Amino acid sequence: MKYMRKGFTLIELLVVIVIIGILATFFINSSLINIKRGRDARRKTDLENIRSGIETFFSDCDHYPITSAITAGVNLVGDGSTANCAAANIYIKAIPDDPTSTRNYLYYRSSNTTYVICAALETGSGTVTCNGSSACGSSTCNYQVSNP
């Protein structure tokens, strides 16, 4: 009488588990990379929105806002320096903050006509500086928007 097998051997089960583990690792890593890219895209958008508000401020006030005026969560308003730059003018409503709590955006006005805004991208490399500092929170700044 022939022996009839009614299940899987331990080796077959282990092979299937290993294959599933490899596939799961691949999909998890892929998802994490996409999440980082999404946060980086938001950072770039935030910096462009800040830049746009700063340029509008400049067109009304004939200078860029002082460094301390660009603070996360605070409105960028006119400083009253010209008739068009009234304190009631809101140029940026609630300046955005970095999507993670360990990083932040840096803004530095080096003169009335130049500035730089820096951020730390998760998928980028290199180093940029804002006012001699390359620290964007707990990470190194590696992306910037500037004028000129």
- Whole-prediction pTM value? 0.83
Q: Is 108 helix (H, G, I), strand (E, B) or coil?
A: strand
CATH of domain 37-147: 3.30.700
pLDDT tens digits along 65-98: 999 999 999 999 999 999 999 999 999 999 999 9
pLDDT tens digits along 12-24: 999 999 999 999 9
Q: Residue 89: phi, psi to the nearest 5?
A: -75, 125
Q: Is 84 within 8 Å of 60 (Cβ atoms)?
A: yes
